[in-house]
Homo-oligomer: A and B are copies of this chain.
Amino acid sequence: MRNLNQHTITQAVLDRIHPDTNPRLKVVLTSLVNHLHDFAREVALTEVELMQAIQYLTAVGQKCDDKRQEFILLSDVLGLSMLTVALNNDKPAGCTEATVFGPFYVENEPEIALGGDAANGAPGEPCWVEGQIKGPSGEVIPHAQIEVWQADADGFYDVQKPELQQAQARAKMKADAQGRYYFKTIVAEAYPIPTDGPVGDLLHATGRHPWRPAHLHFMIKAPGYETLITHVFRDGDTYLDSDAVFGVRQSLVAAWVKQEADAKEGGATTHLHFDFVLNPI
């Protein structure tokens, strides 16, 4: 195996994968190597460009820490995250659609009681959120675990504020026996994804804006049902048709309704109602 050229090297690389390799890994790697090599041949990649790509990917990796995930962001802006969501969430009609997970989820967020305050001091207009978790036949799903997270009025998630000592605008709760959930938070606002890293450089170089339409993230888990990872988007937002990460589903767009403050609803002057339909396993 000497003197490989641009035509013979791909098969030589594939031939190195040992027959005992995990079959799925072999399938994925084979396709990856074929496409990676086809890409390089198709554009006649130069050695300078390969080194630029290596330096770029290195910078993406080095931008990551326990609160920042630049590779998720890169996957998001290249449409790979939403493509993967689409490939894996072909749910029956009537089930709530999924969308991108995003880079800002954090495990072990604070647990709140129903009716509790998820904002925990995050700046923003007070908002009451409520709804119900059901199955596709309308059956109540009791006690689902609901995780929510969102940006604040400044356009930042808590993990983007290094001075913050506590979680803000993220919480975990359990729906009640009738599948109902309700909590206080702040109104979701449109915000730019972080542009102070290599992903921002890519957006800038290709003339793309970094904005995401206002949304509230949900992850909902209940025994016997597929975990649902989704957002609720805010109707009327400027960026619903140009989401930087391609995540908008019309079925997930809902109205944040202005209303009279009600003490029972934590004095919130805006109200969001959204019911979720989970897909049985």
Q: Which residues of A contact B (CB under 8 A)?
A: 1-6, 9-10, 12-13, 16-22, 25-29, 31-33, 35-47, 49-50, 54, 57-62, 64, 69, 71-72, 75, 78-88, 101, 205-208, 240-243, 246, 248-250, 253
Q: Looking at the assembled complex, report how far the CB atom of A204 sits from the nearest CB atom of chain B, in whole angstroms.
A: 10
Complex alpha-carbon distance, A85 and B50, angstroms = 10
Q: Closest residue of chain B to A62, judged by CB?
A: B61
Q: Closest residue of chain B to A248, judged by CB?
A: B2
Complex alpha-carbon distance, A43 and B66, angstroms = 30
Query: Is B57's CB under 8 angstroms from A60's CB?
Result: yes
20 further interface pairs, Cβ-Cβ under 8 Å (given A4-B79, A46-B88): A1-B243, A2-B248, A2-B249, A2-B253, A4-B82, A9-B82, A10-B83, A12-B246, A16-B208, A17-B208, A27-B43, A35-B36, A37-B80, A40-B80, A46-B84, A47-B85, A54-B72, A61-B61, A61-B62, A61-B71
A18 in complex: contacting residue of B2, B54, B206, CB < 8 Å: B206
Query: Is B84's CB under 8 angstroms from A1's CB?
Result: no
Query: Is B17's CB under 8 angstroms from A79's CB?
Result: no
Complex alpha-carbon distance, A40 and B22, angstroms = 18
A86 in complex: contacting residue of B4, B16, B58, CB < 8 Å: B4
Query: Is B13's CB under 8 angstroms from A249's CB?
Result: no
